[in-house]
Amino acid sequence: MAEEHIIKFSEYHDLGFDIYEASDASLRYSNLFMGNRTKEFDDEPRNLAPSKTSEDEEDMRANMGIFPVFAGKVRLTWHDYNDNPIEYSFDFNDIFPDKTIPYPKELEDLIIWEEPLEDDPGIILEIINRTLNIYTIVDIDTLIPGTNKIKTIRYHEKVYTKEF
């Protein structure tokens, strides 16, 4: 029987926060508090984020800093497209109870399993209007078939969705 391989969050993870068709978004997590598409004063016009594009999908990144796995509650607030306020809190332990990170099974035989992660894996929080999506993102070292060369593949997969 073939060995079953898994990739898990171990000590640390990176984080990304992307906003589309929403405004006044804030994120509180661990020692991080940040806003995205916010207005400084109440009399300013809303700073509504544009719709998500195919380029946004291809260029997903988690680069907000390294956090211990998992560093407490996540608290999100934002205004949807119609300016309705939304609040949501959750714990990454509920989203990732076994701390497993999905990877493309079709690359199973090409992945260098001794050290498959080049960087800490990431979690991307994505707000699109009234929807929260959570993705994992991971860099995986693979062998290029027929050579001894290594290619690093950045792979992301949606692992959670919640509609509000």
Calpha distance 136→113 (Å, rounded): 19
Rg (CA), the chain: 18
- Indicate the range of 5-9, 24-28, 112-116 predicted with least confidence: 112-116
Ramachandran area for residue 13 (φ above 0: left; ψ -120 to 50: alpha; else beta): beta
pLDDT average, residue stretch 16-39: 91
Name the strand (E) or helix (H) holding 75: strand 73-79
Q: Distance from first CA to last CA of the chain, Å, rounded?
A: 44
Domain limits, the chain: 7-163
pLDDT average, residue stretch 68-77: 95
Is 9 a residue whose pLDDT tops 50? yes
Share of the chain above pLDDT 90, in %: 72
Can you give the pTM of this predicted structure? 0.91
Query: Which pair of structure tokens corresponds to residue 162?
Result: 């919640």
Chain mean pLDDT for the chain: 91
Q: What is the DSSP letter of 117?
A: B
b/e string for 34-60 if b means 16 or more Cβ within 10 A? Answer: ebbbbeeeeeeeebbbeebeeeeeeee
